[in-house]
Structure 1
Amino acid sequence: MKKLGFIALALFMQTAFAQTNRFVYQVTMKPDASDKNDVKTENAYLDISPEKSVFYSENRIKRDSVMQANFQSGGARGFNRDQMQSLRSIINYSIEKDKKNQKTIFKDRIGRDIYTYEEDRPINWKISSETTKIGEYKVQKAEADFAGRKWTAWFTTDLPYQDGPYKFSGLPGLIVKAEDAQGEYSFDLMKNYKIADFPTLNQFGNTIKVKRGDYVKQQKKFQEDPMAFMNQGGGGGISAPVRVGRPGGGGGNPGDMRKRMEERVKEEAKKNSNPIELQ
C-alpha cells in the first residue's frame, strides 16, 4: 500500500508539473499609419511550459472553436457571420519559442496558406538598474532596438520564466510590460492561471516554410494583387486556381467577387499600414 501511495504521489506531482501556465496580455495597437487616433485593443495569450511557449490572439482560439462547431453542425448554412466578425483579430500570427533549441518560430496566414519562418535577429537587451512596481510585481527596466522600433520592457524575477509577449524573451524574468518609444504598440500583463495543456490552433491550408525575407516579399505580393497571388499558388510553388462562387452560381458573379476581395484586402492593408515590425 505504501508503494502504491508513492506511485500515486509521483503521478500527481508529474501531472501538476506538466501543467501549462497561461499569461494574458492586453495588447494596445495603432495599426493605421494615417490615423494614430484609431487605437485597437485585444487580449493575447502567452502559454508557457518547460519545453516551449506560444503567443497568439485570444480571439483566434475563440474563432477556431466557433468554426469547429460550425463544421460539425453542417457547414456554412449555420454560419454566424456577425459572431465571426466580432472575433476578428489584428493578431493573426502566432509565435512559438522552442526552449531546448533556443529558436523563435513565427507563423502567419497569407492568402490560403500558413507561412512560417525562424526569427534570425537576436534581441540585445540593455538592462537598467531602474526598478518600480507594476501591479503586484517588482519590475526592472530593460531596453532594446528590434525590427525598427525602440522597445522598453519591464520584467520581474518574481515569476521564473525568461519569456515575454510577442518575440520578446531573454531577460532574467517574465516581461510584465513592453512598449515601443512612439507608444504605438504595448503589451501589458493582466492575469495568469494554469491550463491543462496547449490548445490546438487550427491551421487551414498548406504550411510553407520560408526565410524571413521571403515571407516579407510574399506578404507584399499578396497585398498588391491578392487574386493573382492565390491563383499562382501563393508563391509557394503550388498551382491551385481560386474558385470564386459555388457550383451552380450560388456564390455570385466571379468578377464582382474578385473586385470585392481586392477592395477588402486593400482596405485591410491600409488599416494595417503601421505594422509592429518596421524593418
Structure 2
Amino acid sequence: MKKLGIIALALFIQHISAQVNRFVYQVTMKPDAENKSEVKTENAYLDISPEKSVFYSENRIKRDSIMQKAFQGGGGRGSINRDQMENLRTSINYSVEKDKTNQKIFFKDRIGRDMYSYEEDRPLSWTISSETTKIGEYKVQKAETDFAGRKWTAWFTTDLPYQDGPYKFGGLPGLVVKVEDEKGDYSFDLMKNYKIAEFPELNQFGNTIKVKRADFVKQQQKYKSDPAAFMNQGGGQGSFSTTIRTGGRSGAGGRNQNPADMRKRMEERVKEEVKKSSNPIELQ
C-alpha cells in the first residue's frame, strides 16, 4: 500500500511538471500606416513548457475549435455560425515557436492560401538597464533592443522562472512582462497566467512551405503588390478560381453567383486587407 502511494505521488509530480504554463498578453496594434488612430487590440497566448514555447492568437484557437467541432459533427462549413467567426477575426495570423533545447525560433504565417515557415536568423541583442519599476504584482527591469526596423523597450521580471516573452522576444534573464516599440505602434502587455494540460493543436489549413526568411519576405512582397496575381500564378497551391469553385455555396454563398463577380469581390477584399496592413510589426 505504501509503495502504491509513492508511485501515485511520483505520477502526480510528473503530471504537474509536464503541465504547460499559459501567459495571456494583450496585444495593441496600429497596422494601418495611413490611419494610426485605428487601434486594434486582442489577446494572444504564450504557452511555455521546459522544451518549447508557442505564441499565437487567442481568437485563432477559438476559431479552430469552432471549425473542428463543426466538421466532427458532420455539418462541415455550412454549420458554422458566420457571425460568430466574424467576431473572432484576428490580426495575429502568425505563430512563433521557440525550441528551447536548440535555442531556435520558428515563425509561421499565411501568405495567400498557404502557410510559410522559416527559422529566425537574427539574434536579439539586448542592452539591460539598471532601471527598475513595478508592473502589476511584478518587479521589472528595463531592457532595450533594435529589431527588424524598430527600437523596442522591454520590462522583464525574475519573479517568474522563465526566460521568454511574446512574439520573437526572449533571451533576457526573466519573463517579458511588457514590450513596446518607441513609436507606440505595437505593444505586448502581460495580463494573467495559468496552467493548461498540454499545448493545443493549431490547425494548418493548406500546405506548409518551409523557406529561408529572405524568401518569405520576397513572397510576402509579391503577395502585397498583387495578391490576385500571386495566387493565380502558383504563389501558393490555392487560387482565386479554385476558391470560387470550392468555397461557395448556392444562394447567398455562391455557386449560383457569377464567378467573375465573386472573383472581383474577393480580389477587392484581399487588396483592402493588404492596404490595412501597411504598418507591419517588422519594417525590415
| TM-score normalised by L of structure 2 | 0.93
Q: AA paired with 2:245?
A: G
Per-residue CA deviations over 1:133-155 (Å, capped at 9, x if unaligned) read: 00000000000000000000000
Q: AA paired with 1:267?
A: E
CA contact (8 A) 1:70 1:76 kept: yes
Per-residue CA deviations over 1:195-240 (Å, capped at 9, x if unaligned) read: 00000101111110001111111112222333332233325xx587
Percent identity among equivalent residues?
77
In structure 2, relative to structure 1, the CA distance for the partners of 1:75 and 1:190 (3 Å cut) is same
Q: AA paired with 2:277?
A: N
Structure 1 position 258 matched with structure 2 position 253: no
Distance across 2 between alignment mates of 1:16 and 1:276: 36
Corresponding residue for 2:80?
Answer: 79
Q: AA paired with 1:129?
A: S
Corresponding residue for 1:91?
Answer: 92
In structure 2, relative to structure 1, the CA distance for the partners of 1:181 and 1:63 (3 Å cut) is same
Distance across 2 between alignment mates of 1:264 and 1:239: 16
CA contact (8 A) 1:21 1:194 kept: yes
Aligned-residue offset at 1:251: 5.3
CA RMSD of aligned residues (A): 1.6
Structure 1 position 174 matched with structure 2 position 175: yes
Q: AA paired with 1:110?
A: I
Corresponding residue for 1:234?
Answer: 235
Corresponding residue for 2:3?
Answer: 3
Structure 1 position 22 matched with structure 2 position 28: no
Distance across 2 between alignment mates of 1:275 and 1:171: 24
In structure 2, relative to structure 1, the CA distance for the partners of 1:239 and 1:5 (3 Å cut) is closer
In structure 2, relative to structure 1, the CA distance for the partners of 1:134 and 1:243 (3 Å cut) is closer
Distance across 2 between alignment mates of 1:232 and 1:119: 27
Corresponding residue for 2:158?
Answer: 157
Q: AA paired with 1:9?
A: L
Aligned-residue offset at 1:72: 2.6
Corresponding residue for 1:37?
Answer: 37
Aligned-residue offset at 1:243: 4.4
Q: AA paired with 1:124?
A: S
Worse-superposed segment, 77-86 or 226-235: 226-235
Worse-superposed segment, 5-14 or 44-53: 5-14
Aligned-residue offset at 1:8: 1.1
Aligned-residue offset at 1:5: 1.6
Distance across 2 between alignment mates of 1:217 and 1:179: 27
CA contact (8 A) 1:129 1:141 kept: yes
Q: AA paired with 2:216?
A: Y
Corresponding residue for 2:273?
Answer: 268
SS in 2 for 1:191: strand
Per-residue CA deviations over 1:142-190 (Å, capped at 9, x if unaligned) read: 0000000000000000001000000000000000000000011000000
Distance across 2 between alignment mates of 1:209 and 1:170: 25
Worse-superposed segment, 156-165 or 255-264: 255-264
CA contact (8 A) 1:117 1:209 kept: yes
- Aligned pairs for 1:199-214 within 5 A: 199-214=200-215
| TM-score normalised by L of structure 1 | 0.95
Aligned-residue offset at 1:269: 1.0
Distance across 2 between alignment mates of 1:61 and 1:270: 25
In structure 2, relative to structure 1, the CA distance for the partners of 1:6 and 1:145 (3 Å cut) is same
Q: AA paired with 1:106?
A: F
SS in 1 for 2:242: coil
Aligned positions, number: 277
- Aligned pairs for 1:3-152 within 5 A: 3-73=3-73, 74-152=75-153
CA contact (8 A) 1:244 1:251 kept: no
CA contact (8 A) 2:114 2:238 kept: no
CA contact (8 A) 2:113 2:238 kept: no
SS in 2 for 1:11: helix
CA contact (8 A) 2:67 2:77 kept: no
Gaps of 5+ in 2: none
Distance across 2 between alignment mates of 1:194 and 1:76: 32
